[in-house]
């Protein structure tokens, strides 16, 4: 006899993980990666990443020595790749928070196969993002002025500035994401500790496990803490990218000032975050052989998420366009129709907006490409989803670039028009942040359980206390007795 | 568990007070019809605002119900199966709204509704429309919509301009919008929206009650398969209906987030309605334990989430418009910060967010059925005020003017709508007894 949680075949339900997966299988599969020597593939990725990290360091040193004039930023495009990259990296982080917090609150138990991974990416992506505005201040050694620290000069940050709000939003986000990630890791660190052979390894993982003993009481505290962090992180998913969008939307720049920006940026952030999680997950899955933990079903669900968020982003584009026309504001419609879409009149030099191709690249990548995922066949095809996920990442970078550059490069006054050209330092720094990201990411993959062992066990059918219930009379139990955190 | 449900058919029991509830609603509807007829004769200008208010306020419940049902099929959720039937009863009321909506469109077409006089009243030549775009960068100035005190009287096409220059600019903007803001498009699009909503409602309602009889899981498969398309149709029709019917009350005003704001309020309202209704059903013993504290707790979380979402999008709209201070955008909030509307605006912040946030955040509050029903009633009340706040400042520059008519229209549409909804409670089981996920929902319990 089946319990109520047995998958119903008639409506297409299946078990999340392959049938017959045991607790031990999960522990083995995940822990093994941190215990065995690194495969050659890992080194092949790690060394180039280190090289890129070196490139980043070189670019930053050069920039500190000569000032931010080494970037291509100039009148009127004062914000260019730096802010584009900042928004892009911050956006990448959002999938992690969404998966770990919101999907947790919605009891989407398939998240257990991807949450750890995505949370780690959040932390690393925010670190990469923070580099850009910190450097863009011009004299980063005065960046502590951004914090409201009482000082003898009575000098305070401008609290009315969205850039100031960014400082608070991003720092809060980073703090909570790190804590949430580490709290989730405690039981898994304990697992690694208990499996350790060497003393040093045992000590390090023992330290990180904070004295975890796995008693019912510790589990109860742990789950409560996890829930509280999920609840605190949920508004952060919305707040961070909303505040980032305020950087633009509070201004009166045509193309920037529009009320849909906050939710539109959040949807776009989740969209791009999912895309990068998917890209990396597919690589890791095949390199380390995690096909039984990240199944096609998980990938299918992630692709559905990308289709949904991509469509939301498409909705926001459509609203922007419609209202740009509907508003009757000539500057607004000019930016959208001429400078972005490339329609309508030519400018006084007889040109289209120079970046209209970037706009179309963005629409093709972000709105059209994910439409492939309407087909289940394509949604479950690994090469297709790998390519689409990369296309989306490119498209989302273009989105931020289009927003920033096409509003700035054609100012109200044609006499102050000017175009942006990226310098080698711009490119080197952007590439270099990939070095930072992948270095941290590969270290994470190597030393930290990259799937939430305890949570994965919690979603196996035999973790459910009513697995063997033949009747349902006892089903209204007061609480779960599962040996793992609630699904 | 009541005696009626000992056989688990989840039908209303004999002599249940729910069985006759539709008569009460219909009675209220008749009273509202009387008041609205009076409004039509006594104050034909205000009548339009009242009618729009009554219609749109009730329409948001249909929006909410469509969202809930579609979202549940889209996400394959099981916790809400038992309470989904209540939302499906709401869907069953769609024809009433279609009738009231069609009447509104015809009244607008024949010039009996004066709320859109600014752009419907005049002759807007479709060809002249692109003037602003064509003139382009150097010629045109940004238009101002000034904050005139009186609403449009007949024949006075552009009554809002303080000066001749402002009136000219206003005229210019309306000319530009004429390809969108014109009678025939308004009418045709309106009919399309109504068709979409009735179609979606019937699709989801009919299949679900059919499943009660045949217990065929293939219905669930079909409903799920169509859910993504339904979600897109629903989202676009809601957005443009909000633009056509509410945003165009202030034709110079625009906000890209407006559709999302209307959606957020509707979603909060449906969960509030389901809590009030579900708790009452639970209390009356009609559904036994099929709707219990676990379901109400989850509905409470969703209501909490969505009134916070409403706050988030409403705040975004307000903050960005306030910060930029562009006249044709700020006029919307300007109008809601004079003539006593300040009080209503502050009330929205307090009752649609601050108080429920503090008094409903705890698990203990959400699991207390008495308290949950009180908080849900507050949200329902403030949601009706929310729609009022969108519609009426144009019709009643001083708050409260013609309020009897507004309440009358709400009673009329709401009365007839809920009469049909409650009538359906007599015809079908109170929970979807044929749903393959029913068992899981009946045994739903949560550790968090």
Assess contact for B352 and B386: CB atoms under 8 A.
Answer: yes
> What separation, in Å, do the N-terminal and C-terminal C-alpha atoms of chain B show?
26
**CB-side exposure of A120: number of CA atoms within 13 Å?**
23
User: Which range marks the domain in which residue A74 is found?
Assistant: 9-478
Task: Categorize the per-residue pLDDT at A288 as very low, low, confident or very high, splitting at 50, 70 and 90.
Answer: confident
The pLDDT of residue B447 is 64
Q: In chain B, count H helices and then E strands.
A: 18, 0
Q: How confident is the model at residue A1 (pLDDT cuts 50, 70, 90)?
A: very low
User: Domain tally for chain A?
Assistant: 1
| For residues A136-151, average pLDDT | 90
- Residue A77's φ and ψ, nearest 5 degrees, are -90, 80
Q: Domain for residue A284, yes or no?
A: yes
Q: Which residues, listed in sequence order, are joined to residue A365 by a DSSP beta bridge?
A: none
A252 to chain B, any CB pair closer than 8 A? The answer is yes
Q: According to the model, what pLDDT value does residue A472 have?
A: 45
Instruction: Please report the pLDDT score of residue B393 as a whole number.
Output: 94
Q: Is the pLDDT of residue A343 over 80?
A: no
Contact B257 A315 (CB under 8 A): no
Per-residue pLDDT of chain B (448 residues; tens, 9 = 90+): 444 444 468 999 888 899 999 999 999 999 999 999 999 999 999 999 999 999 999 999 999 999 999 999 999 988 999 999 999 999 999 999 999 999 999 999 999 999 999 898 744 333 333 333 333 333 333 333 333 334 444 334 444 546 777 788 888 888 899 999 999 999 999 999 999 999 999 999 999 999 999 999 999 999 999 999 999 999 999 999 999 999 999 999 999 999 999 999 999 999 999 999 999 999 999 998 899 999 999 999 999 999 999 999 999 999 999 999 998 899 999 999 999 999 999 999 999 999 999 999 999 999 999 999 999 999 999 999 999 999 999 888 899 889 999 999 999 999 999 999 999 999 999 999 999 999 889 888 876 6
- How far is B399 from A138, CA to CA, in rounded Å? 52
Give the pLDDT confidence score for residue A346 in this predicted structure. 65
Q: Which residue has the higher pLDDT, B262 or A419?
A: B262
DSSP secondary structure code for residue B223 in this structure: H
Any domain includes A207: yes
Tokens of B315: 């705040």
Nearest to B249 by CA among B395, B142, B406: B395
Q: Please report, to the nearest 10 degrees, the dihedral formed by the alpha carbons of residues B82, B88, B93, B94 taken in order.
A: 160
Q: Tell me, yes or no, if B211 comes closer than 8 A to chain A by beta carbon.
A: no
Q: What value does the mean pLDDT take over residues A313-323? A: 95
Q: Please, what is the average pLDDT of chain A?
A: 89
Q: Residues 36 to 95 of B: which have CB under 8 A from any A CB?
A: 75-76, 79
A242, B316: Cβ pair inside 8 Å? yes
Model confidence at A483: pLDDT above 50: no
Residue at A219 is within a domain: yes
Is the minimum CB–CB distance between B217 and chain A shorter than 8 Å? yes
Question: Do the Cβ atoms of A227 and B228 come within 8 Å?
Answer: no
Residue A440 has pLDDT above 80, yes or no: yes
Q: pLDDT value at position B149?
A: 39
Chain B contacts in chain A segment 224-243 (CB below 8 A): 227, 235, 238, 242
**Residue B110's pLDDT is what?**
93
Interface of A with B in 329-348 (CB under 8 A): 329-331, 333-334, 337, 344-345
CATH number of the domain encompassing residue A219: 1.20.1630.10
Flag whether A486 is in a domain: no
Reply yes or no on whether the pLDDT at A416 is more than 90: no
Using DSSP's 3-state secondary structure scheme, residue A328 falls into coil
Q: Give the per-residue pLDDT at A198.
A: 92
What is the structure's pLDDT at A349?
65
């Amino acid at each position: 006899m089946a319990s109520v949680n047995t998958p119903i075949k008639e409506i297409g339900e299946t078990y999340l993980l392959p049938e017959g997966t045991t607790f031990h299988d999960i522990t083995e599969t995940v822990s093994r990666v941190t215990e065995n020597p690194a495969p050659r593939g890992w080194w092949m990725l790690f060394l180039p990443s280190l090289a890129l990290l070196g490139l980043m360091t070189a670019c930053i040193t050069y920039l500190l020595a000569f000032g931010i004039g080494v970037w291509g930023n100039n009148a009127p495009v004062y914000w260019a790749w730096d802010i584009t990259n900042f928004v892009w990296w911050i956006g990448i982080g959002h999938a992690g928070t969404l998966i770990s917090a919101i999907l947790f609150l919605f009891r989407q138990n398939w998240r257990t196969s991807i949450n750890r991974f995505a949370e780690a990416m959040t932390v690393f992506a925010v670190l990469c993002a923070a580099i850009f505005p910190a450097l863009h201040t011009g004299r980063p050694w005065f960046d502590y002025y951004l914090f409201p620290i009482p000082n003898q000069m009575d000098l305070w940050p401008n609290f009315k500035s969205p850039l100031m709000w960014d400082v608070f939003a991003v720092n809060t986000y980073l703090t909570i994401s790190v804590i949430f990630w580490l709290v989730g890791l405690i039981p898994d660190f304990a697992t690694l500790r208990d499996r350790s052979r060497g003393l040093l390894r045992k000590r390090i993982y023992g330290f990180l496990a904070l004295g975890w003993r796995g008693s019912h009481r510790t589990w109860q505290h742990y789950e409560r803490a996890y829930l509280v962090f999920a609840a605190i992180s949920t508004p952060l998913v919305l707040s961070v990218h909303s505040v980032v969008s305020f950087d633009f939307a509070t201004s009166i720049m045509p193309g920037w000032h529009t009320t849909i920006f906050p939710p539109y940026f959040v949807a776009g952030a989740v969209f791009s975050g999912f895309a990068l999680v998917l890209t990396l997950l597919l690589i890791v899955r095949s390199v380390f052989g995690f096909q039984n933990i990240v199944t096609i079903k998980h990938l299918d669900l992630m692709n559905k998420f990308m289709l949904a968020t991509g469509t939301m982003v498409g909705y926001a584009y459509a609203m922007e366009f419609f209202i740009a026309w509907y508003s009757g504001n000539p500057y607004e419609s000019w930016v959208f129709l001429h400078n972005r879409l490339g329609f309508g009149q030519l400018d006084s030099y007889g040109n289209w907006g120079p970046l209209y191709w970037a706009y179309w690249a963005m629409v093709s990548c972000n709105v059209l490409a994910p439409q492939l995922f309407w087909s289940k066949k394509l949604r479950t095809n690994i090469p297709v989803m790998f390519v689409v996920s990369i296309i989306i990442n490119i498209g989302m970078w273009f989105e931020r670039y289009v927003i920033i550059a096409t509003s700035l490069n054609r100012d109200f006054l044609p006499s102050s028009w000017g175009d942006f050209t990226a310098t080698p330092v711009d490119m080197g720094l952007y590439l270099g942040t990939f070095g930072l990201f992948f270095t941290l990411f590969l270290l994470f993959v190597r030393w930290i359980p990259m799937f939430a062992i305890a949570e994965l066990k919690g979603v196996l059918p035999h973790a459910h206390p009513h697995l063997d219930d033949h009747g349902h009379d006892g089903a209204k139990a007061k609480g779960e007795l599962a040996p793992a955190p609630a699904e | 568990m009541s005696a009626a449900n000992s056989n688990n058919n989840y039908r209303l029991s004999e002599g249940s007070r729910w069985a006759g509830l539709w008569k009460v609603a219909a009675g209220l509807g008749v009273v509202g019809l009387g008041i609205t007829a009076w409004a039509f004769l006594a104050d034909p200008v205000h009548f339009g605002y009242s009618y729009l208010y009554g219609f749109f306020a009730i329409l948001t419940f249909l929006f909410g119900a469509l969202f809930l049902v579609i979202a549940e099929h889209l996400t394959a959720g099981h916790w809400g199966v038992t309470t989904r039937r209540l939302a499906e009863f709401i869907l069953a009321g769609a024809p009433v709204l279609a009738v009231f909506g069609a009447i509104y469109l015809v009244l607008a077409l024949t010039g009996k509704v004066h709320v859109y006089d600014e752009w419907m009243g005049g002759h807007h030549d479709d060809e002249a429309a692109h003037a602003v775009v064509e003139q382009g960068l150097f010629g045109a100035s940004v238009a101002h919509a000034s904050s005139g005190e009186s609403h449009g009287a007949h024949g006075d096409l552009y009554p809002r301009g303080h000066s001749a220059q402002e009136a000219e600019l206003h005229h210019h903007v309306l000319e530009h919008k004429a390809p969108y803001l014109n009678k025939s498009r308004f009418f045709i699009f309106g009919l399309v929206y109504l068709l979409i909503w009735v179609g979606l409602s019937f699709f989801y309602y009919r299949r679900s009650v059919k499943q009660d009889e045949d217990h065929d899981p293939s219905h669930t498969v079909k409903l799920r398969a169509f859910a993504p398309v339904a979600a897109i149709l629903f989202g676009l029709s809601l957005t443009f209906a909000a633009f056509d019917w509410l945003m165009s009350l202030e034709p110079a005003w625009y906000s890209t987030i407006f559709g999302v704001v209307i959606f957020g309020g509707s979603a909060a309202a449906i969960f509030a309605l389901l809590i009030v209704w579900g708790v009452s059903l639970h209390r009356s013993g009609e559904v036994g334990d099929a709707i219990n504290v676990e379901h109400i707790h989850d509905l409470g979380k969703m209501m909490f989430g969505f009134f916070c979402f409403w706050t988030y999008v409403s705040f975004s709209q307000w903050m960005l418009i306030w910060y930029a201070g562009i006249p044709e955008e700020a006029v919307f909030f300007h109008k809601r910060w004079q003539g006593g509307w300040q009080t209503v605006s502050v009330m929205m912040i307090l009752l649609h967010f601050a108080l429920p946030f503090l008094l409903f955040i705890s698990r203990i509050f959400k699991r207390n059925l008495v308290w949950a029903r009180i908080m849900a009633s507050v949200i329902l009340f403030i949601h009706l005020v929310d729609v009022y706040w969108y519609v009426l400042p144009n019709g009643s520059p001083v708050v409260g003017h013609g309020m009897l008519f507004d309440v009358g229209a709400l009673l009329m549409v709401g009365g007839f709508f809920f009469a049909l909804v409650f009538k359906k409670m007599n015809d079908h089981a109170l929970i979807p007894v044929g749903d393959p996920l029913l068992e899981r929902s009946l045994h739903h319990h949560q550790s968090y």
